[in-house]
Amino acid sequence: MVPGAVLRGVTLDCADPQTLAGFYGALTGMRELFSTDEFVALTDDSGCDLGFQRVDGYRAPQWPGQDVPQQFHLDFRADDLDAMEELALELGAAKPDHQPGDGRWRVLLDPAGHPFCLTSS
């Protein structure tokens, strides 16, 4: 039997790792684990860290278009969907017009343009 791999973290490409880490840190309550000009890692007690790496010539994904594919997106569960959306928008997220899912979740764009979802389940 082959041992299973355990997800240790996810890293997002961006133009400004410090700014994007600040956004997600404020949104999730995660704290800084490591920081340089090129890379920032956030952590909490979940065992899965969130990283942000500087990429020269970074191009933000397009939502819902696919001229620059989203490649992946993060999903966050929120007890109060309205309050979490409001916080995300205050922190610099944007809410695109295209909202699939019939209200079961909300798609937002982080300050670097990555789509992410808020859901209550």
Residue among 81, 92, 86 nearest 25 (CA): 92
Would residue 3 count as lying in a domain? no
pLDDT in tens, 66-87: 888 777 789 999 989 999 999 9
Q: Is the pLDDT of residue 89 over 90?
A: yes
Q: Is the pLDDT of residue 30 over 90?
A: yes
Looking at the structure of the chain, the number of domains it has is 1
Q: Is the pLDDT of residue 51 over 80?
A: yes
Is residue 53 within 8 Å of 11, Cβ to Cβ?
yes
Would residue 74 count as lying in a domain? yes
pLDDT mean across residues, the chain = 91
Residue 1 has a pLDDT of 62
* Count of C-beta atoms within a 10 Å radius of residue 90: 10
Would residue 96 count as lying in a domain? yes
Is residue 82 within 8 Å of 41, Cβ to Cβ?
no
Instruction: Give the separation between CA 51 and CA 12, rounded to whole angstroms.
Output: 6
Residue 116 has a pLDDT of 93
CATH number for the domain that contains residue 76: 3.10.180.10
The larger pLDDT score, comparing residue 121 to residue 90, is at 90
Q: Is the pLDDT of residue 60 over 70?
A: yes
Stated length of the chain: 121
Residue 110 has a pLDDT of 96
Residue 101 has a pLDDT of 78
Would residue 113 count as lying in a domain? yes
The larger pLDDT score, comparing residue 31 to residue 103, is at 31
**Structural domain span for residue 101:** 9-119
